[in-house]
Amino acid sequence: MAPRSLLPAWVMAGLDVLFPPACAACGREGDPWSDAPPGGALGPSGICGACVAELVATAPRCGRCGAEATGGRCRACHGRPVDHDGIVVLGDYGGGLRAAVLRAKRPAGRMLAERLGGLLHERHGAAIAAWQVDVVVPVPMHWRRRWLRGTSLAETVARRLAGDARLPCAGLLRRSRPTALQNSLPPEGRRANVRDAFAASPHRVEGRRVLLVDDVLTTGGTVAACRQTLVRAGAAAVFVAVIARAGRGGDDGDPDSG
């Protein structure tokens, strides 16, 4: 079937009567005559207003680590190196957003993963446009883990975000070696775990402004390792977009995030 955006309005109206629109996050179907689920009208991402309010954080965030912070800088970042040229975050890893991320990591949650990418663009599309990004790049999983899991949340989010931003999405990074599960390690050991774990081809990266996409950021070790690899390959700038920001000392619930 053709994408909804390519169908005539009368066809879309008929489909909504036969298959009432449902929120990708809570799954509640709407009244076909009001074209919206009980949680409110569906936005472009396909998520209802009530869920958007729960998933998206509106408080000011630290420009270094992405955590909530008054004045754009948190105390934990004082004196710490910056691992990117800019960062945007959908919300904090907890409650409804944590549940949504964990669901989206499964093959059955692919639609939700895509909608989270759309929501990330809804919230931060203007900032991403201002960065003048050339290419969107997902944080890669090792091929063995990718095969076992059956999907990659970062890749799905990156592709939807790139599509909404009208940017190319490319796998410019690859895992050069398997690593220990990040959530099996203490926070202070995560950066060493992923150091030199990524590779990139200079001829594909040189001079490009990259938007690196991941699902959950905790200590920032994975992002730092990816950025270092991209910069060594000649990237002009590396920005970061993540679905959720977890506390450095907390359980991020995801073996690949760090």
DSSP 39-84: T--B-TTS-BHHHHHHH---S-B-TTT--B-GGG--GGGTTPPP-S
SS3 22: strand
- Let me know: does 163 contact 193? Beta carbons within 8 Å: no
d(CA 147, CA 145): 5
- At residue 189 the predicted structure's pLDDT band, cuts being 50, 70 and 90, is low
Q: What is the pLDDT of residue 118?
A: 94
Q: What is the pLDDT of residue 100?
A: 94
CATH code for the part of the protein at 56-245: 3.40.50.2020
Tokens 């009980």 belong to residue: 38
More confident position, 227 or 24: 227
pLDDT in tens, 2-46: 444 454 554 444 444 445 567 888 877 654 434 455 555 677 778
- Contacts of residue 216, Cβ cutoff 8 Å, sequence gap at least 6: 93, 101, 242, 243, 244, 245, 246, 252, 253, 254, 257
Q: What is the pLDDT of residue 82?
A: 82
- Let me know: does 240 contact 212? Beta carbons within 8 Å: yes
d(CA 154, CA 215): 5
d(CA 170, CA 166): 13
Enumerate the domain spans of the chain.
9-55, 56-245
> Per mean pLDDT, which range of 28-37, 90-99, 219-228 is the poorest?
28-37
- Let me know: does 228 contact 192? Beta carbons within 8 Å: no
- Contacts of residue 117, Cβ cutoff 8 Å, sequence gap at least 6: 156, 157, 158, 159, 160, 161, 164
